Structure 1
Amino acid sequence: MINFFNEDIDFSIPNPQACSDWISSIISSHQFSLEEINYVFCSDNYLLQINIDYLNHDYYTDIITFDNSDKPKVIESDIFISIERVKENAQDQNTLFEEELNRVMIHGVLHLLGYGDKTEEEKKAMREKEDACLSLLKN
């Protein structure tokens, strides 16, 4: 089950069913099962406070993913996304907001599937995987 919420902003995802189907198919293709993902779309300040309170990081970010599963290969998560940060990133990268939002949404899922992004090599692999996932959404 995939749920979409908003906190501290007025935002709704344009096509929640298509988005849910896409994310579910990515999870299934990695032989994981989906228990629940709660996407929470929020403001920069809301996400900054989560970053400070839970991760001791005092800086803005576009996404924070909490892995709530205690079982292997089961996805249960809360994913917080700053809509303000996604809009700014889309402008900076000269891409559409919707594409950047989808990239950030699947980025969180890829972390849950075991992909990292700490090293340059991991970042490159993550970007390639994001692109592959995005191509599935467009078809």
Structure 2
Amino acid sequence: MINYNYETEFNLENELLLTDWINQVVKNHNCNIQEVNYIFVDDEYQHKLNLKFLNHDTLTDIISFDYSIGNNLQGDIYISIERVIDNAKDFKVSFLDELHRVLIHGILHYCGFKDKTDQDAKIMRSMEDEALKILSNK
């Protein structure tokens, strides 16, 4: 089950389409979703999480708390809408393109993909691109 929660003035359009897409990507990686909560927040909310749980005094677009067991995915994914807006401008992409990349990025972490090294980041980006192609065909 995928749940969408809003702690800011933002609301997703097409929740059902996005849920189908995310489930398809997860299934393609031989995993299944038990329960994943997306929580959309502002920078202030995200910053507090970053300080409290990660001891990072920075702004970030996504923070995920992974409670998965094996291939059964569970967790909470916090997304700062303000960071997504700014990143979209910085990367010269649309807000929705950047939002979709961030949505799938968190799930790909749960599927076992990492991005700490350059090589891992390259693989993660490739998996994101592959997933985004699936969405563009829906």
**Category of TM-score, reference length = shorter chain:** over 0.9
Runs of 4+ in 1 over 4 A off after TM superposition: none
Please give the per-residue CA displacement for 1:41-76, whole angstroms capped at 9, x wherever unaligned.
Answer: 00011001001101111100000011123x211101
Match for 2:55: what amino acid? N
SS at match of 1:116: coil
- Give the equivalent residue in structure 2 for 1:37: 36
Tell me the equivalent position of 1:78: 76
Q: Distance in 2 between matches of 1:129 and 1:73?
A: 17
Q: Partners of 2:118 and 2:45 in 1: how far apart?
A: 29
Q: Give the Cα–Cα distance (whole angstroms) in 2 for the partners of residues 119 and 100 of structure 1.
A: 21
Shift of 1:83: 0.1
Aligned mates of 1:129, 1:31 — CA distance in 2: 14
1:30, CA displacement in angstroms? 1.1
Superposed CA RMSD in Å reads 0.7
Q: Report 1:1-139 matches (<5 A).
A: 1-7=1-7, 9-69=8-68, 71-139=69-137
**AA matched with 1:47:** Q
Q: TM-score, normalising length from structure 1?
A: 0.96
Count of matched residue positions in the alignment of Structure 1 and Structure 2 = 137
Distance 1:116 1:75 in 2: 15
Structure 2, gaps ≥5 residues long: none
Kindly provide the amino acid, as one letter, of the partner of residue 6 in structure 1.
Answer: Y
Looking at structure 2, the residues matched to 33 and 129 of structure 1 have their Cα atoms a distance apart, in angstroms, of 17
Offset of 1:6 from its aligned partner?
1.0
Q: Deviations over 1:66-106 (max 9, x none)?
A: 1123x211101100000000000001111000010000010
Q: TM-score, normalised by structure 2?
A: 0.97
% same residue? 45
